[in-house]
Structure 1
Amino acid sequence: MSDIRSLCVYCGSASRVDDRYKTAAARLGALIAARGLQLVYGGGRVGLMGIVADAALGAGGKVVGIIPEHIQALEVEHTGLTELHVVDSMHTRKRMMFDRSDAFIVLPGGLGTLDETFEMMTWLQLKLHTKPIVFVDVDGYWRPFLRLVDHMIAQGFCRPEHRDLFQVVETVDEVFGAIAAPEPVAGPASDKWV
């Protein structure tokens, strides 16, 4: 983990969610700061996004938020961050989050969380990066997604080794061991569909 200095956290912005997800977000933010790592995230002050940022800040950590103008216009940006970057589009946001991060942690979330995560998984599949991707399966939240991946493999739309593009842990405490694991292997990009 010596090369890991900055963690990108993808997570939901919804606030009306079970407390177990909020607890996991708060613990992750605090642990990131306690390890002297920087948190990179979507720049919001609501939902799990706000919780993970507040926890990292509260523990003395550095937090970088990256938010598109059209979301900032909804007045949901976090104004107390170490850095807040307002960008022109979701595409710019995702690229900047990628550039500023050494690994990606996926907490429970919705469509936006999946959008950002899938792009990083696809880039990894295409060998555009080798950064770790770790899902935190809080109380089985990601099990339906894992079944979907197994289904895609069984139906021939993904190769079995694509299951190794990401890791899954059950608690936020396991994240740091997972990101220290060897780099993922996706096979040659040229034969991914055959």
Structure 2
Amino acid sequence: MTKISSLCVYCGSRMPVNTAFSKAAKDLGHQLGGNNIQLVYGGGHVGLMGIIADATLEANGNVIGIIPGHLHDIEVSHENLTELHVVDSMHSRKQMMFERSDAFVVLPGGIGTLDETFEMITWRQLKLHDKPIILVNFQDYWGPFIDLMNHMIDQGFVEKEVFELFEVVNSLEEILPALQRSPDAEIQPDISKM
């Protein structure tokens, strides 16, 4: 069983059309703060990112934001976090988010969320880490992603074991139990290979 004290959450930096996604981000932030789990995220104050950060802080949780300088300079960073790290590049941001987290949760989001998610899954496939990855298929948002994975399997580009690299849950209530039943990480990540 994995002890999760610091959780990286990938999610959208825009406000969604479906307001249920905003509520889900807020509820997850309250869960994290209420369970003394630190939030690690992309450092923004906009979209779902801002909502989950604010909610975690409201619940007396710690929030670590990591944002590249070019985004910080155009004033989208959240200035009221426990820690805000301004880094030199998107790659440095993703690297630090990885280093500061025990596990990863993916909420609805856009291209950036997909990029981060695919990278963590790819690194796990390459055995660069074995930290838990939880895809929250809230209101079937990630259904097309799962369909794409099955299509790639059908076409022979991906092994069916890809679904062992991450866990899909359908509700917020399933996230913490899924993390708690994850096996302890055994791979010592080698940052030089990432």
Q: TM-score, normalization: structure 1?
A: 0.92
Structure 2 match to 1:47: 47
1:3 Cα shift?
2.2
The verdict on how the C-alpha distance between 1:183 and 1:157 changes in structure 2, with shifts beyond 3 A counting, is: farther
Equivalent residue number for residue 93 of structure 2: 93
User: Structure 2 vs 1, CA of residues 87 and 77 (structure 1 numbering), >3 Å: closer, same or farther?
Assistant: same
Shift in Å, 1:168: 0.8
Q: Is the 8 A contact 2:2 2:182 kept in 1?
A: no
8 A Cα contact 2:66 2:97, kept in partner: yes
- Whichever residue aligns with residue 110 of structure 1, its letter is G
Shifted more, 49-58 versus 175-184: the winner is 175-184
1:166 Cα deviation after fit: 0.7
CA RMSD between the two structures: 1.2
In structure 2, what is the Cα distance between the partners aligned to 1:90 and 1:62?
22
In structure 2, what is the equivalent of residue 34 of structure 1?
34
Q: CA, structure 1 residues 168+16, in 2 after alignment: closer, same or farther (shift >3 Å)? A: closer
- Do 1:20 and 1:138's aligned partners in 2 also have CA atoms closer than 8 Å? no
Aligned to 2:152: 152
**Amino acid aligned to 2:31:** L
**Aligned pairs, number:** 184
TM superposition score normalised by structure 2:
0.92
Unpaired stretches in structure 1, ≥5 consecutive residues: 185-194
Q: Please identify runs of 4+ aligned residues in structure 1 that moved more than 6 A.
A: none
Distance 1:160-1:183 versus aligned 2 partners, 3 A rule: farther
Task: Name the SS of the counterpart of 2:108 in structure 1.
Answer: coil
How far does residue 4 in structure 1 lie from its aligned partner after superposition? 1.2
Tell me which residue corresponds to 1:4.
4
2:75 maps to 75
SS at match of 2:39: strand
Residue type of the alignment partner of 2:97: M
1:110 lines up with 2:110 in the alignment: yes
The 1-side partners of 2:62 and 2:165 are apart by 28
The alignment status of 1:179 with 2:185, answered yes or no, reads no
Deviations for 1:100-146, whole angstroms, at most 9, x for unmatched residues? Answer: 00000000000000101111100000001010000111101000000
Give CA deviations for 1:20-70 in whole Å, capped at 9, x if unaligned: 000100000000111111000000000000000000000000000000011
SS at match of 1:67: strand
Task: Quote the offset at 1:17 in angstroms.
Answer: 2.6
Q: Is contact 2:67–2:84 with CA below 8 Å preserved after alignment?
A: yes
Instruction: Give the partner amino acid of 2:81.
Output: L
Question: SS of the residue aligned with 1:128?
Answer: coil
Letter matched to residue 131 of structure 1: K
How much does 1:182 deviate?
A: 3.5
- Secondary structure in structure 2 of the residue aligned to 1:134: strand
